């Protein structure tokens, strides 16, 4: 990659700073996430970043991608990481202008420029601002999240660290495109959108989507939630595809995301939901989260669950230029509904069920076993990068709509008629005392096997276990990935603890019921799942153990 601008050689000195370990730096499924105030503790960020370098080999004189979602503390963290990277011998850093890079854009850059990895500064859909959350995640050379072997090595280093190396130098100007140097390390400040947008143009028929907007009969609303995808959506949707200027709302990334949680679901994206429910609602609505890897899809007065969205994309991939030659396979996380499994069976392609966490799709993608994959938590992706990708999913939908000339609702209902409807919902109990939440799961682990053969209301249990996953590529075994109850009529209950929060614990209950009869596919989703929800609460003794009579969040 080349960049315009002067090359600035700075006079610098490496300092070795004595430090002590922090005991709470074990990365979760999406890196290390804590409150901003914890990352502001002296040495906390520096310890973790140095631990990343201490755990790796082969990065000297190599390329590192760096950027984040623009949340509070993003810019300060970037300055520290640049100085630590230079002191540890990194050869080049590709840095998004202003410190901005979406998570899928980081994956795109790692893969395109053969970087040894990337550091992403984000806490995804968690709130931002001085009182909010912050996060650091390392992605490896395939562009995907670091596997457990790497994150455990980072954690081991963090528990034994005694010093870190950092350059004593002035801060770098990260707002001007161009190349500069921090000692021998080149820093290229790049347009954060250009490479990603170029990849999207190769995957989708931009001419057909442009014609859809030019017709005048199609209107769209995209809510960037004052998060990272604003610049990407303005460039791709409005400038390259010709959508009207008012299509993208909340398109300026803000330090605190406008005081709201940048989480694209029916609760936190309520302004978009209201706009799509009004008398003058647009035809298509979408939103993405803090770092740009999640998506929510809406039609006019119609919500598409993430599980259904994955299935609809797989069933209609033949209409999309970048996927028209067929899919090698599909994968979903275990808690995600089995709607895509039916599509795979119809297409005679393999389908895989993995633990929650995008890193588990990486081996399948790298081995060419799958093309599309997704999770119920509003994440969808493909083999174009090694992250879920919110704006990619929106463009996939737009490409299908331009080819099928159907509304979102018509397309989804036609899908149900062909494959059946999977009524599906997630009930979250947020902010639980961690010990209480862990006790709920521990008690279920002891009792769940005994449920097999019993009846839950009208449902007969045919499988009840603690899900484990044997990776078909490297044969690694991952255990204790969620408790599942499967019934003979294809109803399911799944329990697991979330790994993405920073306060307390979140217990998640996933409910699924299959309906093949088209005359019964128009029920209210929560009403259709009411008996399963009641059974799930009773089996886990939710109210007795947590004091909660109802979930904090239903999606």
- Indicate which residues carry an active-site annotation: 124
Which among 259, 303, 246 is positioned nearest to 130, based on CA atoms? Answer: 259
Identify the DSSP state of 171: P
Backbone angles phi, psi at 291, to 5 degrees: -105, 5
3-class secondary-structure state, position 432? strand
- Cα–Cα distance, 504 to 481 (Å, whole number): 19
What does the block give as tokens for 464? 């009840």
Q: Pairing state of beta strands 330-333 and 351-354?
A: parallel
Question: Could you give the angle at the alpha carbon of 28 between the alpha carbons of 153 and 255, nearest 5°?
Answer: 115
H/E element, 366: helix 359-366
What does the block give as tokens for 234? 């303005």
The count of other CB atoms within 10 Å of the CB of residue 256 is 16
What does the block give as tokens for 19? 């430090």
Go through 213-235 and write b for each residue having 16 or more CB atoms within 10 A of its CB, e for each that does not.
beeeebbbbbbbbbbbbbbbbbb
3-class secondary-structure state, position 208? helix
Torsion of CA 83, 86, 88, 93, to 10 degrees: 110
3-class secondary structure per residue, 491-554? CEEEEEECCCCCCCEEEEEEEEEEECCHHHCCCCHHHHCHHHHHHHHHHHCHHHHHCCCCCCEE
Unique residue bearing structure tokens 């370990």: 21
Sign of the C-alpha dihedral computed for residues 231, 234, 240 and 241 taken in this order: positive
| Cα 112 → chain centroid | 20
Q: How many CA atoms lie within 13 A of 309 on its CB side?
A: 29
- Cα–Cα distance, 107 to 65 (Å, whole number): 9
């Amino acid at each position: 990659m080349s960049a315009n601008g002067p090359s600035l050689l700075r006079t610098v000195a490496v300092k070795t700073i004595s430090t002590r370990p922090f005991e709470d730096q074990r990365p979760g499924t999406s890196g290390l996430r804590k409150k901003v105030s914890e990352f502001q503790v002296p040495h906390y960020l520096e310890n973790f970043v140095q631990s990343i370098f201490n755990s790796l080999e082969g990065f000297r004189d190599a390329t590192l991608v760096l950027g984040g979602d623009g949340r509070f503390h993003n810019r300060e963290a970037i300055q520290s990481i640049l100085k630590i990277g230079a002191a540890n011998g990194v050869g080049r850093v590709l840095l998004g202008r202003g410190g901005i890079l979406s998570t899928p854009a980081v994956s795109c850059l790692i893969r395109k420029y053969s970087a040894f990895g990337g550091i992403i500064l984000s806490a995804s859909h968690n709130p931002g601002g001085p009182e909010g959350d912050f996060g650091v995640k390392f992605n490896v050379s395939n562009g995907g999240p670091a596997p457990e072997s790497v994150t455990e090595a980072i954690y081991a280093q963090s528990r034994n660290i005694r010093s870190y190396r950092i350059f004593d130098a002035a801060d770098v100007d990260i707002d001007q495109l161009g190349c500069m140097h921090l000692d021998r390390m080149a820093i290229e400040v790049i347009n954060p959108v250009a490479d990603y947008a170029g990849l999207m143009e190769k995957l989708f028929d931009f001419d057909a989507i442009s014609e859809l907007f030019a017709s005048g009969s199609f209107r769209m609303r995209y809510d960037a939630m004052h998060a990272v995808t604003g610049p990407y959506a303005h460039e791709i949707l409005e400038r390259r595809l010709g959508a009207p200027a008012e299509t993208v709302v909340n398109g300026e990334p803000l330090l605190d995301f406008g005081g709201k949680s940048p989480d694209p679901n029916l609760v936190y994206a309520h302004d978009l939901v209201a706009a799509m429910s009004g008398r003058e609602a647009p035809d298509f609505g979408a939103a993405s989260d803090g770092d740009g890897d999640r998506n929510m899809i809406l039609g006019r007065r119609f919500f598409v669950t993430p599980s259904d969205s994955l299935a609809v994309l797989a069933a209609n991939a033949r209409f999309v230029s970048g996927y028209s030659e067929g899919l090698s396979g599909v994968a979903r996380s275990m808690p995600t509904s089995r709607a895509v499994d039916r599509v795979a069976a119809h297409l005679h392609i393999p389908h895989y069920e993995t633990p929650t966490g995008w890193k588990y799709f990486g081996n399948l993608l790298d081995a060419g076993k799958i093309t599309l994959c997704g999770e119920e938590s509003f994440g969808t992706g493909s083999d174009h990068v090694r992250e879920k990708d919110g704006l990619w999913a929106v463009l996939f939908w737009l490409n299908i709509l331009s080819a099928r000339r159907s509304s979102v609702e018509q397309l989804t209902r036609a899908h149900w008629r062909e494959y059946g409807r999977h009524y599906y919902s997630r009930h979250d109990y947020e902010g639980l005392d961690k010990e209480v939440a862990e006790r709920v799961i521990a008690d279920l682990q002891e009792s769940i096997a005994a449920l097999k053969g019993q009846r839950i209301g009208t449902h007969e249990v045919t499988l009840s276990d603690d899900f484990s996953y044997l990776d078909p590529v490297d044969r690694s075994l991952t255990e204790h990935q969620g408790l599942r109850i499967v019934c003979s009529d294809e109803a399911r209950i799944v329990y697991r603890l979330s790994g993405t929060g920073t306060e307390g614990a979140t217990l998640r209950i996933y409910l699924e019921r299959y309906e093949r009869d088209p005359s019964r596919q128009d029920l209210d989703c929560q009403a259709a799942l009411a008996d399963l929800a009641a059974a799930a609460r009773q089996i886990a003794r939710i109210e007795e153990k947590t004091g909660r009579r109802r979930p904090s969040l239903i999606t």
